[in-house]
Structure 1
Amino acid sequence: MRSIQVNGEFGACLLKLRLSRKLSQKAVAILAEMDQSYLAGLEAGRRPPPRDRQLARLVSALGATPEEIQELREARALARLADVVDELDPQRGRALASLACRFNRLSANQLRVIEEMASLLEQR
């Protein structure tokens, strides 16, 4: 099973942002040019966090601030890394998911390193 806890963290960030804008899933899905069921899956943690293009459409549709974009990118990077590690070793994936949920803020360099690690591991 994939690291739902971390994916849920991304979904929770996305949901919080959408609700702060007082927008429905349908409205955001239309603005972001994506299926509403995909957005619902993201928010519920049933779908893996989106790639760059979909994330860009979401943050544009939501009018996210730089700080909100950073929070979403952090949650996405940690979820991707946890999913990849989980596929290689489920016990380590769960441990990473638990640890990732305890992070407060990541520097831009830390985030870049995590995203690079996830990409390298995905290529295996």
Structure 2
Amino acid sequence: MQITRSSIDTVKGPADWFTDDVYIDAVAAAPAPSRVTASLVHFMPGARTHWHRHPLGQTVFVTEGIGLCRRRGGPVEVIRPGDRVLFEADEEHWHGAAPNRLMVHMAINEGDDDHAAVHWQAPVTDEEYHATPATR
């Protein structure tokens, strides 16, 4: 067993990954042979990732607020606390906060010597972000 005391600072998400204000807290980054990392990601209202993909997939678990997500070619989906979103391997997508609400999620990723955890792409345009969400 290993206990890591809370000593890692919250970091601001880099502008080449995110649009607007996003803050990241590292949660898990176990040494090899583990391939899993986890981060608590705080999106301020309107903030979002750029388009990106994960060679080994990604799961996000919403813990607070209201968010939006979209896979390439699909509709914008609204996500809420307790929702889990699985982005399949290499599925291009984005996720972030709703325009008027913050959103916090746990992002769980895998990576290894042969697969980067993420490949960042172009920013999500305002038109893509503001597309009408799917109805349920």
Q: Which has the higher contact order (CA 8 A, sep 6+)?
A: 1
TM-score, normalization: structure 1? 0.26
Flag the structure with higher helix content: 1
Query: Whose strand fraction is larger, Structure 1's or Structure 2's?
Result: 2
TM-score (norm 2): 0.25
